[in-house]
C-alpha cells in the first residue's frame, strides 16, 4: 500500500476501535477478547465476570485493527511470532482509561485481548464487600504500621481493586510516604510514588524493592508476588518496620500459607511477619435491589488463624467460601449456592 492507503486504513481502524471501546465502556466491560477463526474474528466482552458475544470482524478489518493497535501501543508491527504487550489511553466522558493490550501468536492470526482500567474511578472499601462484618475486619487492618498484608485469589477476583482502595483509605487517614511497584501501573494515585516494573531495563521487583527501601517509605505496595525472590524480599521489608501490601495467586486462605512455604518462606517468618490474608472471590448479585454488579466474599485469616494453619491445627475457624455462599443465598443476595 502507498502512504495514502496506509493513512486511510489506519483512520478506518481508529474509527472501528473507538466505536468498540465506547461500547465496552458503556457495557461496564472489564476486557475485550478477539478470537480469530478461519472465516472471521469473533469479539467478546467480559461484563461482570461473564464473557458475552459482541460482534464479528472480517480478517481484513481485524488485521487492520491489529496494525493500528501495534502502532499506537508502541509494539513491533512486523512481529507476529512472539507475545507482545502495550498500553494506550482513551478518553471517555471526562474519564481516562488505560487499555492494556496483550497479543498472542495463534492460528490463523494473532489473538488480541484488551483490559480496560478506568483511571479516575476508584472503588471505596464499603462498596466492595457483600458482608459488613468482613468490611469491619478489613478496616481494622488500617491500624497496622509494620508487617505484611496479603490479598489472594484467582485472576479477576478484585485483588488489585481492593489493594488500591486500601491504599486510598490509608492515605486519607494518615500522612504516609507510600511507594508502589507495579507491572503495569494500573491507576495513577495522588501523593504516591509509583514505580513501573520494566524487566528489560533491569527494573525488576527485586531491584525496585531495594531502591524503594532507600526512599524512606512507610508503606510499600508490591503489585504481585510472583516468585520466591520477591516473596523473600517482601518479608524482609516487612521485618524492618515497613508495612507491605501485596497480592498473590492462591485458591484460599490456607492455600496462601502453603504457597508461601513452597516459595521458601519459613513458618517462623510467616508467623512473625504475616499480619493477615484476605482470599477473595466475587459473587454476582441479584439484579433486584442491587443492580447488575458483583461483590467480594473473603476467607479472612488473621494472626491467630495463620498460627493455627502453620501448626496444622484442626481448630482453625474462619468462614469458608462455601459457607459464605450459602449465607449469601439465604439472605437473597444470589440465586445460587
Q: In this structure, what C-alpha cell is assigned to residue 196?
A: 513501573
Task: Output DSSP code: residue 59.
Answer: H
Q: What is the model's pLDDT at position 202?
A: 82
Q: What is the model's pLDDT at position 334?
A: 86
CA distance linking residue 276 with residue 19, whole number of Å: 44
Q: What is the model's pLDDT at position 291?
A: 60
Collapsing DSSP to helix, strand or coil, 7 comes out as helix
Class of domain 125-330: alpha beta
CA distance linking residue 296 with residue 159, whole number of Å: 10
CA distance linking residue 187 with residue 117, whole number of Å: 8
The pTM of the whole model exceeds 0.85? no
> What's the longest Cα–Cα distance across the chain?
73
Residues 6+ apart with CB under 8 A from 204: 197
Q: In this structure, what C-alpha cell is assigned to residue 28?
A: 461496564
Whose cell is 492494556? That residue is 100
Q: What is the model's pLDDT at position 288?
A: 56
Q: What is the model's pLDDT at position 119?
A: 82
CA distance linking residue 63 with residue 74, whole number of Å: 16
Q: What is the model's pLDDT at position 153?
A: 93
Q: In this structure, what C-alpha cell is assigned to residue 224?
A: 504481585
Residue 152 CB: number of other CB atoms within 10 A? 27
Which sequence spans correspond to the domains of the chain?
Answer: 3-118, 125-330
184, 217, 201: which is closest to 209 by C-alpha?
A: 217
Query: Do 108 and 62 meet the contact criterion of CB atoms below 8 Å apart?
Result: no
Whether the upstream peptide bond of residue 108 has omega within 30° of 0, thus cis, is yes
Query: Do 25 and 92 meet the contact criterion of CB atoms below 8 Å apart?
Result: yes
Domain 3-118 bears CATH identifier 3.40.630.30? no
Q: In this structure, what C-alpha cell is assigned to residue 329?
A: 443465598
pLDDT averaged per 10 residues in sequence order, the chain, 337 residues? 72 92 93 94 92 94 93 92 92 88 92 90 84 92 94 90 89 87 84 86 84 91 90 90 94 93 95 96 75 85 92 77 92 82
- For 325, list phi and psi in degrees, rounded to 5: -65, -40
Q: What is the model's pLDDT at position 82?
A: 93
pLDDT in tens, 47-77: 888 899 999 999 999 999 999 999 999 999 9
Q: What is the model's pLDDT at position 2?
A: 67
Strands 243-248, 147-152: pairing is: parallel
Amino acid at each position: 500500500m502507498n502512504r495514502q492507503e496506509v493513512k486511510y486504513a489506519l483512520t478506518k481502524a481508529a474509527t472501528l476501535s473507538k466505536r468498540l471501546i465506547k461500547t465496552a465502556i458503556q457495557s461496564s466491560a472489564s476486557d475485550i477478547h478477539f478470537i480469530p477463526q478461519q472465516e472471521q474474528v469473533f469479539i467478546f466482552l467480559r461484563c461482570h465476570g461473564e464473557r458475552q458475544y459482541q460482534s464479528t470482524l472480517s480478517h481484513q478489518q481485524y488485521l487492520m485493527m491489529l496494525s493500528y493497535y501495534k502502532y499506537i501501543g508502541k509494539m513491533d508491527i512486523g512481529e507476529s511470532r512472539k507475545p507482545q504487550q502495550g498500553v494506550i489511553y482513551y478518553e471517555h466522558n471526562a474519564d481516562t482509561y488505560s487499555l492494556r493490550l496483550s497479543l498472542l501468536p495463534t492460528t490463523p492470526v494473532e489473538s488480541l485481548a484488551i483490559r480496560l482500567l478506568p483511571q479516575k474511578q476508584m472503588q471505596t472499601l464499603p462498596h466492595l464487600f457483600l458482608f459488613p462484618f468482613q468490611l469491619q475486619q478489613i478496616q481494622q487492618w488500617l491500624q497496622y504500621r509494620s508487617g505484611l498484608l496479603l490479598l489472594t485469589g484467582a485472576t479477576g477476583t478484585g485483588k488489585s481493586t481492593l489493594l488500591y482502595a486500601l491504599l486510598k483509605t490509608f492515605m486519607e487517614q494518615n500522612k504516609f510516604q507510600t511507594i508502589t511497584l507495579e507491572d503495569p501501573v494500573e491507576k495513577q494515585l495522588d501523593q504516591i510514588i509509583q514505580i513501573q516494573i520494566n524487566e528489560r531495563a533491569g527494573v525488576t521487583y527485586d531491584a525496585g524493592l531495594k531502591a524503594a527501601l532507600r526512599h524512606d517509605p512507610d508503606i510499600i505496595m508490591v503489585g504481585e508476588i510472583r516468585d520466591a525472590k520477591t516473596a523473600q524480599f517482601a518479608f524482609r521489608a516487612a521485618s524492618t518496620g515497613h508495612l507491605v501490601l501485596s497480592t498473590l495467586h492462591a485458591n484460599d486462605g490456607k492455600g496462601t500459607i502453603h504457597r508461601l512455604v513452597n516459595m521458601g518462606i519459613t513458618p517462623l517468618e510467616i508467623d512473625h511477619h504475616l499480619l493477615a490474608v484476605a482470599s477473595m472471590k466475587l459473587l454476582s448479585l441479584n439484579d433486584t435491589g442491587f443492580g447488575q454488579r458483583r461483590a467480594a466474599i473473603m476467607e479472612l485469616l488473621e494472626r491467630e488463624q495463620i498460627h493455627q494453619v502453620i501448626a496444622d491445627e484442626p481448630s482453625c475457624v474462619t468462614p469458608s467460601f462455601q459457607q459464605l455462599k450459602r449465607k449469601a443465598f439465604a439472605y437473597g443476595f444470589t440465586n445460587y449456592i
